[in-house]
A and B are shown apart, each in its own frame.
Chain A
Amino acid sequence: MMRGEKMLELRYNPLTDEWIIVSAETQRRPVQPSQQSCPICAGGIELPEEYDLVAFENRFPALKRQPPQIHEEGGFFQKARSFGVCEVVVYTKDHNTALPGMPLKQVEKLVEMWIDRTIELSKHDFVKYVFIFENRGKEVGASLSHPHGQIYAFPFVPKRVQAKIEAMGKWYQEKKECLICQVVGNETKDRKRIVYETSSFVALVPFYARFPFEVHVYPKRHVTTVFELSSRERSEFAKVLKVVTAKYDGLFDQEFPYMMMFFQKPFNCNLRSDLFHFHVEFNPPKRDKDKIKWMASVETGTWTFINPVLPEESARMLREVKVEGI
């Protein structure tokens, strides 16, 4: 490795059959700078020009379009080059807002931008998975308070996504119907766990919630990616995201931290992808106003979650939060 060149490579973990990204670059990311030094405000170090919405390649990426060569190939352990793209997605030029407070029209534009980024990134041969996400709040490691999310275009299908694909395939084989289509049908009849519903989407605390206030957003129509949504569905999707995040903020009357994650079908590979039902997961780390649900030994080590709040109860609490002016 050249002097000064930062380590960036994929390492294969044979114990769990998964890839780990080793990236010394990400250590250099700034942590919660003030508005005066916000790098993604207009005039900041990253964005000296005026803008409305912007997506750009991360200065401190975990994956690169042209990653460095890897060293010590052919040893006992397996390594690979870190092909991929890591983008920062800036939602608005307004530093002092967030998804729930943004005008609906701006969120609709954001949905359009996510769609275009998904299409563009999926066109790279090396990209197998486009993962759109937002870490909101320092509780989940957000390094900037300016409203933004990120996109990781992975060169492999991440383990948990593989698990979802396998589970959806297994369900289809047994029931001859899409898993999420059936969940949507069931939940909209039962209504115990519904948080918010439109004609094309349902937001609910899933029966199988891992986090106390976990919410999933499911399109009612079977679509495999965000770009298959029709124009009307896109507008409704924007509204649902805004309502869910506004309900979160209203729950304990505070800026509610969350991890928002989009799950869509993989690209450029031969996994069974037609069965994948696009959806969004909100995983908030809070279990009460001032209490955190930690990802501790059981959760991290075994992937087994202990949810201290009954999903039906958290759905009721979220449902009862009134949101105005959407």
Chain B
Amino acid sequence: MWVYGLPFQNGVVFHDKDSNTLRFSLRKIDFGYAIKGEIPVSFKRVEVFKVKADSAQVFGKMCVVGPDFVVGFLKHNGGIIEIEKQKDYLVGYLNCYKKGFEERSCSEASFVILQGCKREFLLKEYLRLVARENEIVLTPSSSFTVLTAGFRDLDQRIFEAKNCGCQVLLLRELEGSLEDFVRKCRNNGLLAGIEVEFEPVFLEKLRKHGFQFFEVFFEENDRNHVEKARQVLKDLVLVAKGVSPLTTIALTDGLVLKNAKMSLQDLVKNSLLQKITPLYVEVDDFTEEWLKVCGALGYGVIFNKRADKVDYAKVSCVGKVYAQQCEIIYLDKNNVHKKFLVSKDSLRTEDELASRLVKHTKLRQDGRFFHFYDER
């Protein structure tokens, strides 16, 4: 049958252009709609959505957040997603004409339009849908703390890393003995890490050198490249840089956020992305407040210049992210219940009473755990 002059079958509308067919279907979901499109590669660059830019902003290179709406990509298979500002509009594209896509006949991209509630809620709902659509279930973050190093200051950096509880030493230069670097890291109980640009052959070579942690910069926001890196690195730690969370989803062990001038409040806001990927921040210089927020929210930290200890929370939850002041409630590793009140550039701690209990766990001969609780 036809609807509005377009062929319609099994819930899908077909739009023919130059002897190719674009197919799309719309599905009602809670708080809005999900739209799935199958786009022939010959369409090259397709405008997927376009929204007025008034009071809206791009979040995570994958969605547009307005005061009472969120429009964002949900999943894509083939092609590159892009969001561009064009005059008064923010426009989402699927770009299918990059080199390497010739083999495919179609790309798929789905996106959602959520509206009618506060943006804070809609953003959380959007990220939940992304996680569900991509079958991601993330348990509490297990990010690493990382210290960068070169060959000249290696011994000093190893000492510093151990002193500050960093688990990874990240090499940022290649002019030296990579074997020595890897050996020294291993001898000191650290993971040998390296920062590189995406290049499959080179990654393979570094893997064979024994590196265990890779911070890979991807020039293109192309999921095929991330897939390739994962294939090369197998089970080693792969942390991506330069791409959107949706491009790395389910493929990497983390994503480095661009942290140029990121306020404390942005740090809290961006932590919502941890619903779909573990996050890392790179810091040249930092304040105590910065590290407290990173620890409370489970961010992996890459220290560029000097390192410090990051105290990670056992669990945490974030209150209003878009309000003037965000609230982070968390339990530290000693079960001390704390509250942070975070405004743009300042943080106020409201320490609450520590748990009055201490726990001793015993393992019985039959394999059962017994947890004894007593007053401190």
Question: Footprint of B on A, CB under 8 Å?
Answer: 47, 49, 51-57, 59, 66, 108-109, 112-113, 115-117, 119-120, 122-123, 125, 169, 172-173, 176, 224, 227-228, 230-232, 268-270, 272, 274
Contacts and interface: CB of A to CB of B under 8 A. Distances in A.
Q: Classify chain B: how many residues form its interface, as a range.
A: 35 or more
A59 B353 CA distance: 35
A55 B370 CA distance: 6
Contacts of B373: 52-55, 109, 112-113, 116
30 contacts: A47-B370, A52-B372, A52-B373, A52-B374, A54-B371, A55-B370, A55-B371, A56-B370, A57-B370, A66-B367, A109-B357, A109-B373, A112-B355, A116-B335, A116-B355, A116-B359, A117-B371, A123-B139, A169-B30, A172-B121, A173-B117, A228-B317, A228-B329, A230-B337, A231-B352, A232-B352, A268-B139, A270-B128, A270-B132, A274-B124
Interface string B317-359: 1000000000001010001010100000000000011011101
Contacts of A57: 368-370
B189 interface: no
Query: Which applies to chain B's interface (DSSP): helix, strand, loop or mixed?
Result: mixed
The 8 closest A-B pairs by CB, nearest first: A57-B368, A56-B370, A231-B353, A270-B132, A231-B352, A53-B373, A55-B371, A270-B131
A269 B124 CA distance: 14
Nearest to B355: A112
B334 to A, nearest CB: 11
A136 B315 CA distance: 31
Nearest to B315: A119
A316 B139 CA distance: 45
Contacts of B371: 54-56, 116-117, 120
B365 to A, nearest CB: 12
Given A47-B370, A117-B371, A123-B140, 16 more contacts: A49-B372, A55-B373, A57-B370, A59-B368, A109-B373, A113-B357, A116-B335, A116-B359, A119-B314, A125-B137, A176-B116, A227-B315, A228-B317, A230-B329, A270-B132, A270-B137
Interface string B5-25: 000000000000000000000
Nearest to A124: B139
Nearest to A126: B139
B375 interface: yes
Contacts, number: 92
A165 B136 CA distance: 20
Given A270-B131, A272-B128, A227 B331 contact: yes
Given A224-B317, A270-B136, A173 B372 contact: no
B101 interface: no
A4 B140 CA distance: 38
Contact of B357 (A116, A270, A272): A116
Given A116-B355, A173-B30, A230-B339, A54 B372 contact: yes
Contacts of B357: 53, 109, 112-113, 116
B318 to A, nearest CB: 10
Interface of B: 30-31, 116-118, 121, 124-125, 128, 131-132, 136-137, 139-140, 314-315, 317, 329, 331, 335, 337, 339, 352-353, 355-357, 359, 366-375
Nearest to B329: A228
Given A52-B373, A117-B371, A173 B31 contact: yes
B352 A230 contact: yes
Most buried by B among A122, A176, A224, A272: A272
A169 B121 CA distance: 12
A120 B333 CA distance: 12
B139 A109 contact: no
Contacts of B374: 51-53
Contacts of B317: 224, 228
A176 B124 CA distance: 15
B110 to A, nearest CB: 16
Contacts of A268: 137, 139
A264 to B, nearest CB: 12
Contact of A176 (B117, B356, B359): B117
Nearest to A120: B371
Contacts of A230: 329, 337, 339, 352
Contacts of B353: 231
B335 to A, nearest CB: 6
A170 to B, nearest CB: 8
A274 B124 CA distance: 8
B320 to A, nearest CB: 11
A54 B370 contact: yes
A105 to B, nearest CB: 9
B372 A112 contact: no
